[in-house]
Structure 1
Amino acid sequence: MRYDVTVRLSEDQIRRYAETGYLLFEGLLDTAEVEALRAALPEVMSRTGPEVIREQDGAGAVGVRDAPLLRTVSPAVAAAADAEPVRQLLTDEVYLHQSRLNPKEGFGSGARWDWHQDYSAWQRVDGMERPDCIMASVFIDDCTVERSPLLVIPRSHRHGFIDSIELHRDAKGYSLYELDRDTVARLADENGIEPLIGGAGTVALVDCNLIHGSANNISPWRRAILYLIYNACGNACTNGDRPWFQNHRDFTPLQAIEDTALAEG
């Protein structure tokens, strides 16, 4: 499978996505494509503008928590941004609502993300009418159990948008609405918790209502993931209060690219 126009999901894959809330594709990007994305990281992570949100502790900034990476920032991201499988799942043309990097540095500087649904912020803050939105998680590094992978509660998306939320206490520069513990415990008891793991180049397609989170990365190794947030063009956000790097206002449908475009930069 590739991020190009020739990629088609099978009916079985579409049914599995509807059932579990995610699909995982190991080795979707090859070595050259992964290296192109890695090469873009130092310039983005060294930025000092408001689009780069850094971890905080008592001593101040200790690492990058989140760094938006829209197509206007990095040619490598532009080349990764076509998504024919997403068009199939959303049955619509798509645009990039957000693209961001979470490098999750090692030795604890890659902090946790509490349990949440991504749609919460987009619905409340950006005016996204429906959860017709998919998060593509592109593994720039190996994501193993030691490196604090994404944890998901399968089938939790089938409960729709859960309104028992509150803005995260440390949400400075981004909007993260965490779920109440009773809801998370109940749905985890019913459905279990699964880690999204795989080597660099793996891609996960995740429903925007699937409950997920991650723990601190106390391993010595970085666990960088690029998140590409695809929204259906017929579901374009109506509130433009947030800046471009949090709520992209260009609703132009993404176009198919050549399969070699990412490796070529």
Structure 2
Amino acid sequence: MSTATMTDDLYLTRLTEAKEPFAREHPTVWGSADDGPFDADALRDHDQRGFTILPEFLTGEEVEIYRAELDRLTSDPSLRGDERVVTERVSGEVRSIFAVQQLSELIDRLSRDPRLLDRARQLLGSDVYLHQTRINYMPGFKGSGFYWHSDFETWHAEDGMPAPRAVSCSIALTPNFPYNGGLMVMPGSHRTFVPSLGETPEDNHKSSLKEQKVGVPSEEVITEMAHRHGIDQFTGPAGSALWFDANIMHGSGNNITPFPRSNIFLVFNSVENTLETSYAASAPRPDHIAHGDAQPLS
């Protein structure tokens, strides 16, 4: 497995003057086919596209168990007003619950399941820890989407993540149709870092988790990247899992259908890529959004 020293800021962002997108300095896949369940072809495809979809990652029985857990959490009156809960800007319905492994033994165990842990270790070439966890709930008719962005741009600027040596796993608990606000990704875009304009406001997370306005690309950049890379969408039955690189350009539209969309979202970071001082923010985001505990998962 690979190791690297990453001390210089190679991903300047939140700038006062526009800078052209540029090629990332770090690999996408750090391990090899000998290190885990992805075979050589799957690793090559993930390296090229920046994402992998695994249908039927969870069984139907498991989906029902985790869906009931999501319902329990989103309807728990004791969590109303909790800083870990993010609500829809207009409707006030629960949008996300962060640090969900602290609230659910089921999801804490899931994060340590070899089906996830072995793949995360293989992709990142090291032991891993949870940088962020949450459950996302996009209700029918009222669920709002997210504009195009790279997670790593925010994690670097605001959380102090040195390099894009992190991978996210989104596990669908409901069917992802092409029309109920499913996640869209630009295959291959993970190889390009897009700096953003503008300083990070104080406590930016309080608004950005509802509607992100800082750290997003311009329409011109999105247009160019969409023509260059195209757009794919994460669709499939409940139980499907999407693994995607920290730097891939992605977004989602509003859900105006009657079909809700919910998922468990786990971000694995390499223990060799632990958080430093925020690169482009006056203070780091709270621990429930960006975990400072880099204890390896086991």
Q: TM-score range by the shorter chain?
A: 0.7 to 0.9
Structure 2 residue aligned with 1:163? 195
Structure 1 residues 21-170: aligned runs within 5 Å: 21-46=50-75, 47-48=79-80, 49-57=82-90, 61-82=91-112, 83-107=117-141, 109-159=142-192, 161-165=193-197
Whole-angstrom CA distance in 2 between matches of 1:229 and 1:185: 28
Structure with higher strand content: 1
AA partner of residue 63 (structure 2): V
Contact 1:53 1:173 in 2 (8 A): no
Match of 2:260 in 1: 222
Structure of greater Rg: 2
* Identity %, equivalent residues: 30
> d(CA) in 2 for partners of 1:70 and 1:115?
24
Mapped contact 1:69–1:77 kept (Cα < 8 A): no
Query: Residue 122 of structure 1 aligns to which amino acid in structure 2?
Result: W
| Paired amino acid for 1:68 | F
CA contact (8 A) 1:50 1:173 kept: no
1:172 aligns with 2:206: yes
Determine if the alignment matches structure 1 residue 13 to structure 2 residue 36: no
Deviation at 1:179, TM superposition (A): 1.4
CA–CA distance in 1 between the matches of 2:178 and 2:105? Answer: 31
- Offset from partner CA, 1:102-151 (integer Å, 9 cap, x none): 111011x1101000000011101110000001010110111111211100
**CA deviation profile, 1:162-205 (whole Å, cap 9, x unmatched):** 1035569x963546422111111101001110111111110010
Identify unmatched segments of 5+ residues in structure 1. Answer: 1-5, 256-265
Q: Which SS does the other structure have where 1:136 is aligned?
A: strand
Preserved contact between residue 99 and residue 289 of structure 2 (Cα < 8 Å): no
Q: In structure 1, how many angstroms separate the alpha carbons of the residues matched to 2:252 and 2:37? A: 30
Q: For residues 191-222 of structure 1, what are the alpha-carbon distances to aligned partners after superposition, in whole Å with 9 as ceiling and x for unaligned?
A: 11011111111001000110000000011011
TM-score by length of 1: 0.86
Unaligned segments of structure 2, at least 5 residues: 1-34, 278-282
Equivalent residue letter for 1:106? G
1:125 aligned counterpart, secondary structure = helix
User: How big is the alpha-carbon RMSD for the aligned residues of Structure 1 and Structure 2?
Assistant: 2.0
Alignment TM-score, normalising by the size of structure 2: 0.77
Match of 2:31 in 1: none
- For residues 230 and 285 of structure 2, the distance between their equivalents in structure 1, rounded to whole angstroms, comes to 35
Q: How many residues align?
A: 244
Corresponding residue number in structure 2 for 1:187: 225
